[in-house]
Amino acid sequence: MSVDILFLNLTRFGDLLQSQSLLEDCRRAGLRAGLVCLDNFASALPLLRSLSAAWPLPGADILRRLDGKGPGGSWHDAPALLLDFVERLRREAAPRHVVNLTATLPSRLLASLLAPSPEAVTGFVLDREGFGFCRGNWAAYLCGSTLKRCNAPFNMQDMFRMAARPAIRALGHPAPVEDAACGGRLLPPEDEACGQAARLLAAAPEGCRGFVGLQLGASHPARQWPQASFAQVGDGLWQAARLCPVLLGTPSEKSLARAYARQARGPFLDAVGATSLPVLAALVARLRLLVTNDTGTMHLAAGLGIPSLAIFLATAQAWDTGPYLEGCCCLEPALPCHPCGFRQFCPHDGGCRECISARTVLRLALGWLNSGRWESNVDDSLRQEARIWLTTRDADTGFADLVCLSGHEYEDRSLWLRLQRRFWQQLLDDMDDAPVPPAPAWSAEFFSAARASATTRELLPLLRETQHFLAAMPDQCRLAAVHPRMGQLLLRACDHIQRLLEGRDELASLGYFWHEARQARGDDLNALAGLAETLSRHLEELNALLSP
């Protein structure tokens, strides 16, 4: 079955589910979308809407054969299996274009092998010499935004969509990708899975009025809320609302379920390690609410329209990995060090795990169950523990957004993330020749807080100096074209801009983007001049916005 665009998403379960919106973008553009994912998540493929075909990559089998544990007992079987897979995929999918959403070297190589030509790859790619780079402005920003946690103000689903936008616009008929208010919705679970889920839930205690899911695990222990706190919430929901807790998780998380059982005083159902992905989806679809860490189960619930009360700890934050569903509640510890950086040692011994109390989570959950409003029980005591965010949708762009319910919207971090949303979307849409969204209707209070923030005071001189050097660069490019010796001056200016931007965590994504963008235009002085002019113009606007 041939496809127009073949997407490569070779990471985690949650990332696979977050491909849903761009599949919908393909459908609206009249394109057939195919997908390559890891074979251990293949059972989730029937949940994806608007997917024409999928090819699970036998990653585990390839690794086994590399260890000489395959049928032939030789590591040579591994590349043979991979090449057979590539040949079959090229024959069956015959993609017109490949969009690689996974930044690893193996995924970049696989994209090169599957594409009909080197230029027919968007996203994370390899150049002719085998070096990695980003093809597409949003793809470059997506890669740079992961470097520091203060640079990621867009939901991952929207960043996936925008990284794929150049290919969709080039191959499909005109269709505004911003029109995707329900683009993240998954298909309902199949009847067989629903039957198995119903049998699991039939063991609920007498008097049960519904179910609340508790997802105990996360990708790293530092991102796991304590099981004792989960147990207090589960007991409280049973006592106050007769909602039976259903423990969810993978077989590797059974120890967390045992820890919950030791702490719990009320009834619960333990489904940890007892479900396939389809049955997990069927269980989640029966819930009134999911209380969860930042996990794939959270994204599954969002895709099925089930609200979450999600807790984001350590490196997790609601801005980029929050649920792609309006009306969810996201909690972050109200600590100045949160979120911490990747691969960063915690000097507080994971103190953020204890910052948000079970009392706070229970009050929020009961308030929402009773009134349908998350803010109904928010008071000063809750504000001291947590930043409380409500997931919503930006009316102008269709992008996922957050509204703060706890008064933390004027913290330096919150202000900087909000400013970056405006800067990056207008810059990247301008560079993609896409309609630029109108400027947000911010209040005078927001402008006053943004201009007075410590972050603004520290960054504004750097941003002004960067804009000054960028504004001079078009003339330097013209001089370098006539006088080759002027190229050294141009190179020094480029490097100086790089050093300015790399000197601050808040500008890491801009530094990475500048490096990627100028490298891609290194042999075309006119293109480099155009890049500098565009960046200068948008930085000048940002500087004017922030200047007292």
Query: Is there a single domain that holds both residue 398 and residue 431?
Result: no
Query: Is there a single domain that holds both residue 164 and residue 30?
Result: yes
Query: Is there a single domain that holds both residue 417 and residue 399?
Result: no
Rg (CA), the chain: 25
Longest dimension (CA), the chain: 86
pLDDT of residue 177: 47
Any domain includes 153: yes
Query: Is there a single domain that holds both residue 462 and residue 511?
Result: yes
Query: Is there a single domain that holds both residue 96 and residue 234?
Result: no
DSSP state of 504: -
Report the domain count for the chain: 3
pLDDT of residue 504: 95
pLDDT of residue 56: 97
CA distance 32 to 30: 7
Boundary (domain end) residue, out of 409, 430, 446: 409
pLDDT of residue 175: 58
Residue pLDDT tens, the chain, 548 long = 799 999 999 999 999 999 999 999 999 999 999 999 999 999 999 999 999 999 999 988 888 888 887 777 788 888 889 999 999 999 999 999 999 999 999 999 999 999 999 999 999 999 888 889 999 999 999 999 998 989 999 999 999 999 999 999 999 986 554 454 457 899 999 999 999 999 999 999 999 999 999 999 999 999 999 999 999 999 999 999 999 999 999 999 999 999 999 999 999 999 999 999 999 999 999 999 999 999 999 999 999 999 999 999 999 999 999 999 999 999 999 998 889 887 777 777 677 889 999 999 999 999 999 999 999 889 999 999 999 999 999 988 889 999 999 999 999 999 999 999 999 999 999 999 988 888 888 999 999 999 999 999 999 999 999 999 999 999 999 998 888 888 888 999 999 999 999 999 999 999 999 999 998 887 899 999 999 999 999 999 999 999 98
Any domain includes 338: yes
pLDDT of residue 420: 97
Any domain includes 182: no
* Residue 113 lies in domain: 5-171
Strands 289-293 and 211-215 come out as: parallel
Boundary (domain end) residue, out of 385, 409, 433: 409
pLDDT of residue 226: 97
Boundary (domain end) residue, out of 389, 409, 429: 409
Query: Is there a single domain that holds both residue 400 and residue 419?
Result: no
Query: Is there a single domain that holds both residue 254 and residue 398?
Result: yes
Residues contacting residue 513 through CB under 8 Å, at least 6 positions apart: 137, 140, 141, 144
Any domain includes 186: no
Phi first, then psi, for residue 310 (nearest 5°) are -110, 140
The CATH number linked to 256 is 3.40.50.2000
* Total count of residues recorded for the chain: 548
The candidate with the shortest Cα–Cα distance to 301, out of 271, 328, 331, is 328
Query: Is there a single domain that holds both residue 240 and residue 316?
Result: yes
pLDDT of residue 182: 57
DSSP state of 132: E
Any domain includes 177: no
Query: Is there a single domain that holds both residue 220 and residue 369?
Result: yes
Any domain includes 402: yes
